[in-house]
């Protein structure tokens, strides 16, 4: 099987978040690469996520169902469509942001005719229309979403025990989880994040790993599956373009820190949009503290209190390729 690796949400090699994309040719029956083998391949790469990309018999293959229009207003029904599976090292997940962006860059730059600007990924969470800017190399993805805010939130005491270096920010009048802002949101079923707002970049730098990792058993009934991770964030101010907001983030899952988490970034943008009552654009910078700076763009379009469209944007740079 052919594979390619990318650093995602960056244009600089050895920054961003690594991703492996493994080709499964259309000439192979699905049984030739069973689910267990696909999971073992992800474990072998040991990246935060690995994509198994099923190559269509022809790049003229099109998306099988209608979907929302892309930013240009053109129908996405007649674009090349690629089925994908997204794997953590120990499980498959229905959706994740950096695999979508990295795979999109791979498809536009290596698999489709030069100049192609529209395609789609078929994820387990739904159809994901993707676009490509041939001038900048940036891709945009209309992210599937099935949003749910949970009733459970960690207490200040629980956060303090998990993050002792943040204890000073969790005590005293005008502090604690209510003042800081702690929310729990699922972007889709199986991808849930605890969002903890911090007052400063200094506080963000104090965030550490923790054990045991969070389990989804604390979530609302019907949503207790998949992964439960924590994103810590600081709102910095207005971005230079389109009136967006600049945010610094870190994403922790137990003893692992993710260099770039597109799905968590999407959820954070949705959360802030719901709090403010309006959509907008967010420019997020993640993982500076571990030397893997990642730049993630999210745009939220709302109609009333409903999220109508959620676009994730970014770049990726190729690193390695080979066969396994």
- Residues 198-209: tens digit of each pLDDT: 989 999 999 999
The arithmetic mean of pLDDT across residues 88-109, rounded, is: 97
Residue 289 reports pLDDT greater than 50: yes
Q: What pLDDT does residue 77 have?
A: 59
Q: What pLDDT does residue 60 have?
A: 45
Residue 269 reports pLDDT greater than 60: yes
Q: DSSP secondary-structure letter at 297?
A: E
Closest CA to 233 of 302, 296, 172, 305: 296
Instruction: Give the separation between CA 123 and CA 71, rounded to whole angstroms.
Output: 20
Closest CA to 85 of 57, 44, 116, 55: 55
Higher pLDDT, 173 or 254: 254
Catalytic residue numbers read 49
Q: Which two tokens stand for residue 135?
A: 């001038």
Residue 240 reports pLDDT greater than 80: no
172 confidence band (pLDDT: 50, 70, 90): low
3-state SS of the chain: helix, strand, coil percent to 5? 25, 40, 40
Residue 150 reports pLDDT greater than 50: yes
φ/ψ of 118, rounded to 5, equals -135, 140
Closest CA to 122 of 164, 79, 160: 79
Mean pLDDT, the chain, integer: 90
In 91-155, alpha helices (H): 97-106
CB atoms within 10 A of CB 205: 15
The arithmetic mean of pLDDT across residues 150-177, rounded, is: 80
Q: What pLDDT does residue 228 have?
A: 93
What is the β-pairing status of strands 2-8 and 17-24?
antiparallel
Q: What pLDDT does residue 73 have?
A: 47
Work out the percent of the chain whose per-residue pLDDT is above 70.
Answer: 89
Higher pLDDT, 275 or 3: 3
Highest average pLDDT, of 65-69, 100-104, 188-192, 197-201, comes from 100-104
SS3 76: coil
Residue 170 reports pLDDT greater than 80: no
User: DSSP strand E in the chain: where?
Assistant: 2-8, 17-24, 50-54, 81-87, 92-93, 118-123, 126-132, 139-142, 148-149, 182-188, 191-197, 227-238, 245-253, 256-258, 280-286, 294-303, 306-314, 316-323
The arithmetic mean of pLDDT across residues 230-259, rounded, is: 87
Instruction: Give the separation between CA 44 and CA 57, rounded to whole angstroms.
Output: 27
Residue 191 reports pLDDT greater than 80: yes
Q: What pLDDT does residue 178 have?
A: 56
Query: Please, what are the domains in the chain?
Result: 2-142+317-323 (3.10.310.10), 148-312 (3.10.310.10)
Distances (CA, A) of 173 to 169, 178, 202, 203, 221: 10, 11, 20, 18, 33
Q: DSSP secondary-structure letter at 189?
A: T
């Amino acid at each position: 099987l052919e594979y390619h690796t990318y650093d995602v949400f960056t244009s600089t090699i050895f920054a961003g978040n690594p991703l492996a994309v493994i080709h499964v040719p259309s000439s192979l029956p699905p049984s030739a690469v069973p689910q267990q083998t696909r999971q073992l391949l992800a474990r072998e790469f040991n990246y935060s996520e690995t994509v198994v990309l099923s190559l269509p018999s022809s790049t003229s293959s099109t998306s099988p169902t209608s979907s929302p229009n892309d930013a240009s207003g053109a129908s996405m029904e007649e674009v090349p469509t690629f089925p994908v599976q997204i794997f953590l090292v120990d499980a498959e997940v229905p959706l994740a942001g950096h695999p979508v962006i990295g795979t999109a860059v791979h498809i536009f730059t290596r698999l489709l005719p030069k100049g192609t600007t529209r395609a789609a990924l078929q994820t387990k969470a739904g159809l994901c229309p993707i676009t490509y800017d041939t001038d900048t190399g940036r891709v945009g993805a209309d992210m599937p979403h099935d949003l749910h805010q949970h009733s459970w939130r960690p207490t200040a005491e629980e956060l303090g025990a998990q993050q002792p270096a943040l204890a000073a920010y969790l005590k005293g009048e005008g502090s604690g989880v209510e003042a800081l802002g702690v929310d729990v949101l699922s972007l889709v079923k199986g991808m849930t994040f605890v969002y903890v707002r911090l007052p400063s970049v200094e506080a963000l730098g104090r965030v550490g790993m923790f054990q045991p990792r969070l389990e989804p058993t604390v979530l609302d009934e019907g949503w207790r599956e998949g992964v439960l991770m924590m994103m810590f964030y600081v709102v910095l101010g207005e971005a230079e373009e389109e009136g967006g907001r600049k945010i610094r983030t870190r994403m922790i899952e137990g003893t692992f820190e993710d260099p770039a988490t597109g799905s968590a970034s999407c959820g954070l943008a949705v959360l802030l949009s719901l709090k403010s009552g309006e959509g907008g654009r967010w420019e997020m910078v993640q993982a500076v503290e571990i030397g893997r700076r990642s730049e993630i763009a999210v745009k939220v379009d709302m109609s009333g209190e409903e999220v109508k469209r959620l676009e994730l944007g970014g770049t990726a740079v190729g690193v390695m390729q080979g066969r396994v």
